[in-house]
Each structure stands twice: as structure tokens, then as C-alpha cells.
Amino acid sequence: MVDTRISLREVWKVLASMRKRVKMFSVTKDDCRFIAKRGSGNGGQAKQKTSSAIQCFHDPSGAMGESEDSRNQVLNKREAFKRMIETKEFKSWLKLKIEAGLGHVEIEENTDQGNRVKRKLGMDEV
């Protein structure tokens, strides 16, 4: 006799594989502004002459991250980007952006005639 029972774990695996993920948007280095600056602190003339420290700005969220850990500008750029996405400003902007994309954000605004109108906030408006 063949056992036709399916475990709960197998059911979850099938359901998880059926669920499609949809990419709503992405944040890349092209969405950010990077500024190279001179490092500060100990390290002597070599550190103070080279512009290897990086500041990363994400203007839509107002988030900023910076790094001067390495002498390599590329490594500092990566670290500054990581620090920028870990800020509370970026995380709250990201949450608002996702909620707007799902249609869960509603705002009130005044029309030209002075009437208050409620409308859903679009993803591109965040």
C-alpha cells in the first residue's frame, strides 16, 4: 500500500515556490550622491592628503552615511552606502515607499477651491 499523505513541511515548500515575488523598486548607487573628502584623525600626511573618505547621500529620504575606514575609496563607497541604508531616515522612507506601492497610504490635501480631498499616494510621489 502506498502512503499518499503529505507532510505540512512539503505543503509549505510547494506554496513558497508558487508565490511569485514582484520587484517594486530598487535603490542603487545611481540613486545616491557620493562626495569624496579628506580623512581626519590619526594617520599623518598620507591620510590627510588623499580624498579617500566618502559621504553617501540619498536625497529622497534625506539619509546620509559616511566611511573613512579604509584607504581605498571604492571600499569606503560600499561601506558608506551600507551605513546609509541602515539609517532610520532611510528605513522609514523605505517603509512609506512600500506602503504607497501597495496602495495603503492615503493623504488629505486642499483643492484650489479650498475643499479637503482624500487620495491615495502613488509610489512615484514618495
Lowest mean pLDDT among 90-94, 96-100, 117-121: 117-121
Are 79 and 108 contained in the same domain? no
Q: How far is CA 98 from CA 15, 102, 107, 119, in A?
A: 23, 6, 15, 17
Judge whether residue 77 has pLDDT over 60: yes
Q: pLDDT, tens digit, for every residue of 21-43?
A: 667 778 888 999 999 998 776 66
Are 105 and 81 contained in the same domain? no
Give percent of the chain above pLDDT 90: 32
Distance CA 86, CA 78 (A): 13
pLDDT of residue 4: 54
Are 106 and 75 contained in the same domain? no
Mean pLDDT of the chain: 80
Residue 3 falls inside a structural domain:
no
The residue segments making up the domain with residue 124 are: 98-126
pLDDT of residue 97: 84
Total structural domains within the chain: 2
